[in-house]
Structure 1
Amino acid sequence: MPFENLNNVHYTAAEKTLTTTALTALEAALATKFRNLSPEERKKYGSINEQNKLIVNKILDYRNNQSGLSSADVDWDEFQSDYDSRVFIQAIISRLQSLIDGLDNNKILHDYDNYQAALTDYGYSQYKAGTKTAGYETKVNELSQFFSRTGTSTTPASDTATP
């Protein structure tokens, strides 16, 4: 017998509302800061790689510890603001990514539970159709489109359940 109900912890209506409200508040708080970039702009500006982040960090270190060696052509207040924003954004992205990973894992388990229950119901429907119980033959015929026509397996032709 396959594992069933790998995740039987469900969200209450209050938890769903609280989560949606929190996300709405987060979206509202950040909306004015967002800028849409075209694919060309994303490619042009890109994300600085780790080596270049080390350069930025070293320049900032020099600025903070030996400011006399810093260029007068750089707006250092803006440089610091950009740096602080980047650090803040990266911390938020890390926290959100952790939430996304947890939600993805949670969804995968719920998807698996749903799929296993659906297979169980399909098997039961096939059995009932074999006993000529009214309605089951139609149900099996409608569901059979989702299963491979070759072999005797009840595995779908392509299991592309997206988490």
Structure 2
Amino acid sequence: MSLNNLNNHHLSDEQKEAINEALAKLEQALESLNINLTPEDRNRYGRVNEQNKLFIHKTRDYALSQPTLKSPDVDWAEFEKDFQSRNFLETVISRLNNLSHRCNNSKIFHDFDNYQDSLADYAFTQFRASSKMVGFEEKYKEQKQFFRRPRKGNTPSEAKQDENNDHRDEK
């Protein structure tokens, strides 16, 4: 028995519309953050690693608890705005990543279900094409192009394994 219909939860049209509206509002709200960094910029400015985050936190702690020790060369109001903004954005990114992960997991099951059903339809088409049913020979030829022929030296089971691996990679 093949595994199929792993994900029977489908979003309603109303849910899809609500999601699209929420995404549009989010995109609009984030429009001011439309900063395009080049690969060189990303290398130059990089990402702050955990050790450097601790350093930033310690610097902020000193600035708040012992203001007399703050450097006069730092715009501390801007420092605090940057600190609050990056904390907020980190939370937003975490939540978006969580949503993206959930959507990807659901999509994987839908992809798998579609692929299994397509294989079942292909087997049915092969059967009907072999009995010369009208239309099935053309459909079989069209579908057959997605399956590689065995390489020289491959056994039929190795060729079937190659086919399965090729189609799994496409998801």
TM-score band, normalised by shorter chain: over 0.9
Partner of 2:153: none
Identity of aligned residues (%): 43
Segments of 5+ residues of structure 1 without an aligned counterpart are none
Distance 1:37 1:137 in 2: 52
Partner of 2:57: 57
Partner of 1:108: 108
1:4 to 2:13 alignment: no
Could you report, residue by residue, the CA deviation over 1:106-148 in whole angstroms, capped at 9, with x for unpaired residues? 0000000000000000000111112221111111111111112
Distance 1:157 1:110 in 2: 18
Partner of 2:166: 158
Could you report, residue by residue, the CA deviation over 1:70-116 in whole angstroms, capped at 9, with x for unpaired residues? 11111111000000000000000000000000000000000000000
1:133 aligned counterpart, secondary structure = coil
1:161 is aligned with what amino acid?
Answer: E
TM-score normalized with structure 2 length = 0.90
Distance 1:17 1:31 in 2: 21
Partner of 1:130: 130
Segments of 5+ residues of structure 2 without an aligned counterpart are 151-155
Partner of 2:146: 146
Distance 2:105 2:33 in 1: 30
Distance 2:18 2:62 in 1: 45
Q: What is the deviation of 1:156?
A: 5.0
Could you report, residue by residue, the CA deviation over 1:5-50 in whole angstroms, capped at 9, with x for unpaired residues? 0001111111111101100000000111221111111110011111
CA RMSD of aligned residues (A): 1.5
1:78 is aligned with what amino acid?
Answer: E
1:96 to 2:96 alignment: yes
Distance 2:130 2:35 in 1: 60
Distance 1:65 1:156 in 2: 62
